[in-house]
Chain A
């Protein structure tokens, strides 16, 4: 060994100075500054010419400076740079510099690297290797200002500016936007790998494995995001990740584990199709670990549940037997039973599952609160399932309860009572719902189902419903539903004070709810009505004023109407008419007519009848006549409003037919004044009235209208109405006229005629003549002949 070392030393001594310089140049080309400097020192000692040494020494010192910087020795690097400055680069040094440049700029601070490259570029063409290093330095360090030392029109400077503008969205993770900005960067650019990385990230977001692999291929080995590239190459290699799930911090950051999850899911699906419990168990375990490596037990249970739903409980339990470790598996069987219960309505056989669940509920849910909720939920399921039971099934179920079973102890003393009510599943359902609420009073679902069951039970006292709502409201005070329902119930039983209390609560939790606003309005209107009825006029005034404060478009007319009534009843008889007229004068047209319609007996307002005497009724009829007459003369354009139905809000306090009945004797007077633009609704109302006088008036009005109408469609409809009126008045050849009308219409008018005829067929007078109604509906008048001839 010693001899060999001596021989080597002897050979080393034999190396000449030019040879040493050559060796140093070779070391520089490989980027080894320290070794190059050692060789050059030896060459200098051996007397190598200064001119040949200058260039290599300059480059070697710069390389050394670069190495020292990367080792964190900044001051030593500075000294090395100063040493480099002492030597001229020379002609031979330039080619050497080109070889060492990538290594040189890669290790130096950004500023120095750019200065060296700028100096190099003054006499040389662009150096792709060095530019790639500089591009990486720029992106990592974000020192965009240093790129200014390069010529502005150079490709590198231009691409650097593009990259600088893309960095903000890229830092925010907006890769799509970044890619759009980097679009001008071409494949020859030093920034091309960054654009390729953008493509990779966009593909990663879209889970596009092919694009990811393609993008990764375009990224060179010296790319700064080494471990990111490595993590993605590993996760997205062709064929997917089949091995164990590895999770480095970079894997997690890049979501590389998603591939492992997809692979595990595919394996699980494949295993389930194969049907071998051991393989399925392995696949379940792998998938659960991929989903949640820290705590896979819960996920494993969920998968087994899914499996049971897909195949059978038996197979799921077989799979459970192969799962290791067996932590939590003991709960699977119970969970499967419950799942079975949830999947279909309870049957006799399910009583075993229900009983088992109720018996072992403590072990299943450790918290008392959760136990109560779970008990409530199961009883709710039993109650809901009762709908599916017939009498025989219910009997079987009740008979199959064993002493000591949890369900049997719940039924307890009520067993006989329930057997007596076996034919009424609603009562059984109500019992189980009450038990469910007792177990968990905070279940809104159970409360809702209970009140629904009570509502459906026609024999149940109204107080039961009120009590159920009260308990619902007490148990869930922040739920506005029971308060709203209670308010409605209280209103119906005329308990206004209680209704107001419930409404205040409802207002507290759902003030903006339309139903609450509407009910508050109705409550105040009804209170006002009662006070008017009892002649407590100051109170009625207050109620109606409060109602007006929250009035809606629909309730405003009704409040005004009642206020008019109040004023009328409050006034002495002598001034009654005057006061009423005065009150009505100030009101809008629709309010005026509606108020008068209300006042016209025998209209009833819900359960209230106004205490009007005969003379008052006569007087009000006169008022209504006057109002209609004044409307005909001054505002005929609103006459069609008389034919409209009351808004739906009136339904709670009025009889729907009140208005047409009030108008029945007055249509004949209105007909002449209705403008052409709104005549058809009024004419239809005439067909709806029961008065023959009205129909006769319409019969004489229609020819007059026809004579003044030029519009083709209007003429057609007027003709239809005229023929129909003639038929109803039993005129000669009316059937023939109808038939002619239907036969001679133009093609484009057929749809219009059909629609109008159908509406006409629905009116009261036409409905009384079924053949005509039928003919109008089908627009086939050929079967009407017998009527006119016979009539």
Chain B
């Protein structure tokens, strides 16, 4: 697991409350029934930073656990791009204005 903060879209010094709030917001945005892959990614990211133990563990050894360099870069890429969700037509029209 790499880049849990990137997946969740929060800063590395976020408080537990902020992490939880953000997680719940993302879960509401990507419910498991509609988007299981993204939900799983968010879930894994949250698990990696949920408790102080998990956070320190991730800080120390996350890079080791993600396998090869290519795999790690791919994970980072996926973590950064997974936050994007195709907007609706109304949303695009509003942005045009």
Contact = CB atoms under 8 A, between A and B. Distances in A.
Contact of A173 (B2, B69, B88): B88
B81 A258 contact: yes
B77 A261 contact: yes
Contacts of A290: 80
Contacts of B62: 302
Interface stretch (A87-95, A212-220, A221-229): A221-229
Nearest to A198: B89
Contacts of A306: 2, 63, 66, 69, 72-73
A451 interface: no
Nearest to B81: A258
Nearest to A292: B6
Contacts of A228: 92, 95-96
Interface in B53-97: 53, 55-57, 59-66, 68-70, 72-74, 76-77, 79-81, 84-93, 95-96
A377 B88 contact: no
Contacts of A335: 60
Contact of A309 (B3, B5, B69): B69
A224 B87 contact: no
A303 B92 contact: no
Given A171-B89, A228-B92, A302-B76, A309 B81 contact: no
B93 to A, nearest CB: 6
Interface in A277-302: 287, 290-292, 295, 298-299, 302
Q: Lowest 3 CB-CB distances: which A-B pairs, in order? A: A310-B69, A305-B63, A255-B84
B64 A343 contact: yes
A485 to B, nearest CB: 21
Given A171-B89, A172-B88, A338-B61, A303 B95 contact: no
A299 B88 contact: no
A654 interface: no
Contacts of A204: 86
10 contacts: A140-B93, A173-B87, A253-B87, A292-B80, A305-B63, A306-B2, A338-B60, A339-B60, A343-B64, A373-B56
Nearest to B56: A373
Interface in B1-27: 2-3, 5-6, 11-12
A276 interface: no
Q: Is the interface of A mostly helix, strand, loop or mixed?
A: helix
Interface of B: 2-3, 5-6, 11-12, 52-53, 55-57, 59-66, 68-70, 72-74, 76-77, 79-81, 84-93, 95-96
B89 A265 contact: no
Interface string A292-327: 100100110011011111110000000000000000
Contacts of A178: 89
A303 B76 contact: yes
Given A295-B11, A342-B61, A443 B69 contact: no
B60 A307 contact: no
Contact of A175 (B59, B86, B91): B86
Contact of A225 (B63, B76, B88, B96): B96
A726 to B, nearest CB: 64
B53 A442 contact: yes
A178 B89 CA distance: 10
Contact of B60 (A140, A171, A272, A377): A377
A269 interface: yes
Contacts of A205: 86
A250 interface: yes
Nearest to B72: A306
A377 B62 CA distance: 13
Given A167-B89, A370-B56, A373-B53, A226 B96 contact: yes
A265 B57 contact: no
Given A173-B85, A302-B63, A377 B56 contact: yes
A440 B53 CA distance: 9
Contacts of A265: 73-74, 76-77
A414 B2 CA distance: 39
B20 to A, nearest CB: 17
A373 B52 contact: yes
B32 to A, nearest CB: 17
Interface in A156-171: 167, 170-171
A240 to B, nearest CB: 14
Contacts of A365: 56, 59
A262 interface: yes
Contacts of A268: 73
Contact of A374 (B6, B60, B68): B60
Contacts of B53: 373, 377, 440, 442-443
Contacts of B11: 295
Interface in A583-633: none
Contacts of B6: 291-292, 299
A262 B78 CA distance: 10
B79 to A, nearest CB: 8
B78 to A, nearest CB: 10
Contacts of B79: 291
Contacts of A139: 89
A185 B93 CA distance: 21
Contacts of A374: 56, 59-60
Contacts of A308: 63
Interface in A237-288: 249-250, 253-255, 258, 261-262, 265, 268-269, 272, 287
Contact of B3 (A272, A302, A369, A442): A302
Given A173-B86, A303-B76, A373-B53, A253 B91 contact: yes
Interface in A326-378: 335, 338-339, 342-343, 365, 367, 369-370, 373-374, 377
Contacts of A367: 52
A295 to B, nearest CB: 7
A370 B55 contact: yes
Given A173-B85, A261-B77, A373-B53, 17 more contacts: A139-B89, A167-B89, A171-B88, A173-B88, A224-B96, A228-B92, A228-B96, A249-B95, A250-B96, A254-B87, A255-B86, A258-B80, A261-B81, A299-B76, A367-B52, A370-B52, A377-B57
A6 B73 CA distance: 73
Contacts of A343: 64
A201 interface: yes
A249 B74 CA distance: 25
A295 B79 CA distance: 15
A443 to B, nearest CB: 6
B95 A250 contact: yes
A127 to B, nearest CB: 25
Given A298-B5, A377-B56, A291 B76 contact: yes
B41 to A, nearest CB: 15
Contact of B68 (A226, A258, A310): A310
Contacts of B68: 309-310
